[in-house]
Amino acid sequence: MALGRFGEMDVDPINVAEGLLVRIDGALTCDNTDGAPPLIVTGDAAESLEVMYPYQRLREEGYDVDIAAPSRKTLRFVVHDFEPGYDTYTEKPGHRWNADVALADVDPADYVAIVVPGGRAPEYLRNNADAQRIVQVIGDDLE
């Protein structure tokens, strides 16, 4: 069941490729033997926890993890939280993290899986032609 849209493609929160299963909700199993790394596609204003948790869990499982963004720079993540008196969540600065590679330079064939964290980054990444290309190629490999 697809739970979202990324460009013209339905996106399911479970991505399986070469024996690697990544779920944003925290469940993770790994059985990849070819050594290809997973790719986190994100940008400024991504939810800090949704970037850092998969990153750290994949590292714990022995994977090198690349973070791709619209440009190779220091990304600024955010933290959403509720505060008394607010009708909705507030947004505060979160972690800063360097992008390893620009989306335009990503060859999807070099990666075993993709993680697209939440926050506000997917709001603009879904219209980025390179992000769409990466998600489409890796998504096609999952079928």
- In 3D space, the residue among 106, 91, 84, 101 whose CA is nearest the CA of residue 48 turns out to be 91
pLDDT at position 61: 81
Per DSSP, the residues of 23-82 read ETTS-EEE---S-PPEEEE--TTBBHHHHHHHHHHHHHTT---EEEESSSSEEEEEEEE-
| Residues counted in the chain | 143
pTM over 0.85: no
User: Each residue's pLDDT tens digit in the chain (143 positions)?
Assistant: 233 444 444 444 433 333 333 333 333 444 554 678 899 999 999 999 999 998 998 888 888 999 999 999 999 999 999 999 999 989 999 999 999 999 999 999 898 888 899 889 998 998 999 999 998 887 666 55
Q: Long-range contacts: 127-132, Cβ < 8 Å, 24+? A: 127/7, 128/70, 128/103, 130/70, 130/102, 130/103, 130/104, 130/106, 131/6, 131/7, 131/41, 131/70, 131/103, 132/6, 132/7, 132/8, 132/9
Say what the pLDDT of residue 18 is.
30
* Predicted pLDDT of residue 8: 46
